Amino acid sequence: MENKLKIVFFGTPEFAVKPLAALYESGEEIAAVVTSHDKKVGRKQILTPSAVKAYALEKGIKVLEYTSVRKEGAEDLRALGADVFVTCAFGQILSEEILAIPKYYTLNIHGSLLPKYRGASPIQSALLAGEKKTGVTIMKTAFETDAGDILFERETDIGEDENAGDLFVRLSALGAECILQAVALVKSGKAAFTP
């Protein structure tokens, strides 16, 4: 398999920046970043780009923004000729049409040990439930939320005094390590998924 994968990265908040940066810095080809439109933030309602968009612009990576990627993005995404899509805290559900576009598949970085804590707030949910451990799951994205086949999971202890902000930072860094490991498995032809 080729030395570099052509990747389209789907993400929005700060949590997704470390995984994107890890892929970019490792030399993989980031064909584009897909993120949400700029939002008005703060008392003065200043139009502000997502954390992922800000990083992409800083690095000169092409940025695609859609209100609904499933309705607006298929043609643009097909034209990029990506090997793999990577999703991380993107905030939109991808259609089966979008998921079928990359040469291999779409990988998702999720901040919990699935099947526990699917959905948009896995870090807060794990803390509220009093969990002692959590982690990151790398999975094949399916049409259903956080329900695809799992490539692997990496576990970490939750500190006694750890809050959501601290855990958010640690799991983002762990997600970055995990996506590099996942990409290596894809490139070596050794990616094996379990339901």
144, part of any domain: yes
89, part of any domain: yes
The continuous run of DSSP H or E covering 80 comes out as helix 74-80
Kindly report, residue by residue over 117-156, the tens digit of the pLDDT: 888 889 999 999 999 999 999 999 877 666 789 999 999 9
- The CATH code of the domain that includes 173 is 3.40.50.170
66, part of any domain: yes
Which residue range forms the structural domain that includes residue 155? 6-188
Residue 50 CA: distances (Å) to CA of 24, 33, 53 = 18, 11, 5
Please give the Cα distance from 101 to 49 (Å, whole number): 26
The continuous run of DSSP H or E covering 40 comes out as strand 39-41
83, part of any domain: yes
193, part of any domain: no
1, part of any domain: no
Question: What domain count does the chain have?
Answer: 1
Kindly report which listed range (56-65, 101-110, 117-126, 169-178) carries the lowest average pLDDT score: 117-126
- Mean pLDDT score, 23-30: 97
Q: Which long-range contacts (CB under 8 A, 24 or more apart) does 22-26 make?
A: 22/176, 22/177, 22/179, 22/180, 23/86, 23/179, 23/180, 23/183, 24/59, 24/61, 26/180, 26/183
